[in-house]
């Protein structure tokens, strides 16, 4: 599978969207774990 390198807007790390779980935040790809931890901080 081709790599799909994207940058997480939460931790600012580049990752391969085909290798790691991600969520869409608007038009950006973020790590699923970053999104979940960000939500925990807000609550
Ligand atoms: Zn991240």
So where are the chain's domains? 5-42
**What is the CA(35)–ligand 1 centre distance, in A?**
8
Residue 13 has pLDDT above 70, yes or no: yes
Q: What is the DSSP letter of 37?
A: H
Residue 30 has pLDDT above 70, yes or no: yes
Residue 34 has pLDDT above 80, yes or no: yes
Higher-scoring residue by pLDDT: 1, 33: 33
This model's pTM is above 0.85: no
**What is the CA(40)–ligand 1 centre distance, in A?**
14
Backbone angles phi, psi at 2, to 5 degrees: -65, 150
Average pLDDT taken over every residue of the chain: 93
SS3 call for 36 = helix
């Amino acid at each position: 599978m081709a790599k799909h390198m994207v940058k997480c807007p939460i931790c600012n790390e580049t990752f391969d969207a085909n290798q790691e779980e991600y969520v869409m935040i608007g038009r950006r790809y973020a790590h699923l774990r970053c999104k979940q931890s960000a939500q925990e901080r807000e609550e």
